[in-house]
Amino acid sequence: MAHYFVGDIQGCFEELQLILAKVDFNPSKDELWAVGDLVARGNGSLQTLRYLKSLDASAKITLGNHDLHLLALNGKVKRPNPKDHLDELLKADDLPQLIDWIRKQPLVQTLPSHNVIMTHAGVPPQWDLETLLTESKAVSEALQEDDYIKSLIAKMYTDEADLWDSKSTGLVRLRYCINALTRMRYLNTDGSLDFLCKTPITEKSSELTPWFEFDSELKRSHTLVFGHWAALMGVVNQPNMQALDTGCCWGEHLTLWHLETNEKIEQNKIYN
């Protein structure tokens, strides 16, 4: 069995098919691990979701901020952004089935046999594995509630839940987990999340540090696979890190990482 990890697809379905063809991906014996942000800027969000759903157990998914935003759009909490090219998806006859499938996807996937952890944006350096699994499970359970739109999705849009507090409860705790695992890039000196800066800082800042440069228990014991931060273009200069968002939807390329060979395969953006 081969394990292939793919960066943010963002509806770039044609590029996804081309990159999988390059490695002769066979779902009967291989697994495709997707770091989240399955939908949005590309033109093939509907096809992407249908394909990944069809892979069943051969697809391992983590939810990204755009995937959660799709739940908000479906629940009429937010209005569509024309730049996201989601009209076809939102009008699809099988949208309810696709939404139910998305709700069942977690915020974290682990591969214990290889000590690999996959999330969309990263893992807070304050967390150990037990905390990561416990907090993400709480969000997954909240997404399965009948009133998840009203109780969670409609209330998750906030920058206030930016600092981990093990004593926090309820919605505050869920919000922090969502913000950390789907939106995190930089941390302030106190470990709180910064939501403003997205571009790599060329000179070391006294205030902001990429989350992956903080020391952490999981950083030493596992390979951390993430996407979300296209501006990095896959460069983190850290051991045990795989940054896979390389901006395909922005005109760059899609990246596939083959775990067993440690090889990265690229597919340039296709312009039709």
Per-residue pLDDT at 114 exceeds 70: yes
Q: What is the pLDDT of residues 151-190, one digit of tens each?
A: 999 999 999 999 999 999 999 999 999 999 999 999 999 9
Q: Which helix (H) or strand (E) is 98 found in, with range?
A: helix 95-103
- In this structure, what are the phi and psi dihedrals at residue 40, rounded to the nearest 5 degrees? 135, -100
The total number of structural domains that make up the chain: 1
Beta pairing class for 263-268 and 253-258: antiparallel
pTM of the model: 0.97
CATH of the domain at 52: 3.60.21.10
Which residues make Cβ contacts (< 8 Å) with residue 210, sequence separation at least 6?
Answer: 185, 186, 187, 236
If one compares 6 and 272, the residue with the highest pLDDT of the two is: 6
Q: What percent of the chain has pLDDT over 90?
A: 92
Residue range of the domain that includes 136: 3-268
Cα→Cα distances 40→85, 128, 203, 233, Å: 6, 31, 32, 19
Share the mean pLDDT of the chain: 95
Give the model's pLDDT for residue 24. Answer: 98
Half-sphere exposure of 145 (CA within 13 A, CB side): 14
- Of all residues in the chain, what percent are helix, strand and coil, respectively (each to 5)? 40, 15, 45
* Residue 41: strand, helix, or coil: coil
